[in-house]
Chain A
């Protein structure tokens, strides 16, 4: 999927502004706070509405001009419960699969197998309105994958689930992406979920792209180091700060230091040498997506 300079406005509200990104194969987390523009972006990818500016390509086609062909290969589970309560789960999944091109003579088997995959046995014969929230989420997921799409768009798939159900849903999404080879874009405002299941991340912040790339690029090693010396570090920390380095004391003998380049490493070693202290630890710090999200993500 390619998104180029896309802007979408709802009246006077700009939901997306000049967003440019590529979404790579695999499981991609679409991350952002409520109102960041995640659902709008999913709607644009599906061709629900055209962008006001910019271009979009999904599975090699423009969803505005080739909407039916694009959507035939895409599954979608919206954030809200979109299912009529008086229809049996299996009938609904079968119906949506048929709309996506599965012939009628095999759609019943597909629907049944998909619901089984998601842990719905006898419940699949019940009307959707009688199912629990967790079961409804699974039916919603089933209708998105029953036609074996190339790409599945999941909008907040764990919304309303308890911790156990959430865990199970995340495992299922991971399995869809890894074992079945279906590309998945999963929108969420929960960082931990994205960290657990995604290969790639797209971060939106108030309608603008805050960052995009491989998850490892966000959470991997950084130029921040945890430094420990064998004596009181207060004077050393002050000296490093005076020399222009970004440093933060984290204990009597420890501090956190950002080393932008090799010259900064040399300066650190010189300062330690001058202080007469011995270096006990110089360890690169990994960072969690949460740190990225709250402190501004790399582009």
Chain B
């Protein structure tokens, strides 16, 4: 007697377990994060995250190697602190938010996919939260990850912080700094990308914002000798000040005090987020 069985094949009514509507946010976040990493996408979509990851992590790996193989005095002279390492990740962060981040939200509007998302349990707010969450997760890996690797590597090599309490304090400062900077760059990137449904235009907006912001502040505070508060207009300078004040690292030029830095950083998170929300609430999905 044969043990073969016939199973019903094809589309049937679904009687199984369903996830809660609120789970849609997590589902879109994971999907968007995988997309940012280039998973299940063409090879060229994988290139940018690999390059950005390499730029962010390779120096940290080299520094950890140095810490293991060179004398402690030399290591301390050459290897930066984990928070100070932020200056190393500025370029990959810029590169990614200019070239990679626009692909997170612009195509959804350009191809009309928003209609599918808004016809799901997502709404405009939860859609933005999921997209911002995916970008923040990636940026956190670039901004916090290498510093964390460095902190752990130096600690294991015996040239890091002195004692568990100092380690935890450094870890806390690193995470705090990283979260604030990540939220700032995430918020401004989403807001600028919400201006257009074209990736290239969004990349131009973000690139110009970063470059012009830095140049503008440089000129005003340099040759024109404007007040240091002008630094508040440049998100990268504010991020460096956050790294200095929260991360506890040496600042080349302290332009903003600790309280002013935190208030400005908060404004850089909230104002673009409110703007992006306003933009998406004005979008007509169908007419």
Interface, chain A (partner B; CB < 8 A): 10, 15, 39-40, 42-43, 46-49, 67-69, 71-72, 74-76, 78, 80-86, 88, 91, 95-96, 98-104, 106, 110, 113-114, 116-117, 143, 145, 147-148, 153, 155, 180-181
| Structural contact, A40 and B286, CB atoms closer than 8 A | yes
Which of A10, A67, A103 lies in contact with B123, CB distance below 8 A? A67
Cα–Cα, bound, A78→B14 (Å): 23
Task: Check if B21 is an interface residue, CB within 8 A of chain A.
Answer: yes
Cα–Cα, bound, A103→B9 (Å): 19
Which size bracket describes the interface of B in this complex? 35 or more
Specify which chain B residues have a CB less than 8 angstroms from the CB of A82 in the assembled complex. 111-116
Do most interface residues of chain B lie in helix, strand or loop, or is the interface mixed?
loop
Tally of contacts, chain A with chain B, CB under 8 A: 126
Cα–Cα, bound, A83→B107 (Å): 10
Cα–Cα, bound, A99→B287 (Å): 24
Instruction: Indicate whether A69 sits within 8 Å of B119 (C-beta atoms), given known contacts A48-B285, A78-B112.
Output: no
Distance (Å) between the CB of B47 and the closest chain A CB? Answer: 15
Specify which chain A residues have a CB less than 8 angstroms from the CB of B257 in the assembled complex. none
Instruction: Look across to chain B and name the residue whose beta carbon is closest to the beta carbon of A114.
Output: B11
| Structural contact, A99 and B28, CB atoms closer than 8 A | yes
| Structural contact, B284 and A80, CB atoms closer than 8 A | no
Cα–Cα, bound, A15→B286 (Å): 11
Cα–Cα, bound, A45→B107 (Å): 25
Cα–Cα, bound, A72→B286 (Å): 19
Instruction: Look across to chain A and name the residue whose beta carbon is closest to the beta carbon of B41.
Output: A86
Specify which chain A residues have a CB less than 8 angstroms from the CB of B28 in the assembled complex. 99
Cα–Cα, bound, A18→B237 (Å): 55
Instruction: Indicate whether A68 sits within 8 Å of B121 (C-beta atoms), given known contacts A48-B286, A78-B112.
Output: yes
| Structural contact, B116 and A143, CB atoms closer than 8 A | yes
Residues of chain B from 6 to 41 with CB closer than 8 A to chain A in the complex: 9-14, 16-24, 27-28, 31, 40-41
| Structural contact, B287 and A15, CB atoms closer than 8 A | yes
Task: Check if B209 is an interface residue, CB within 8 A of chain A.
Answer: no
Cα–Cα, bound, A76→B122 (Å): 13
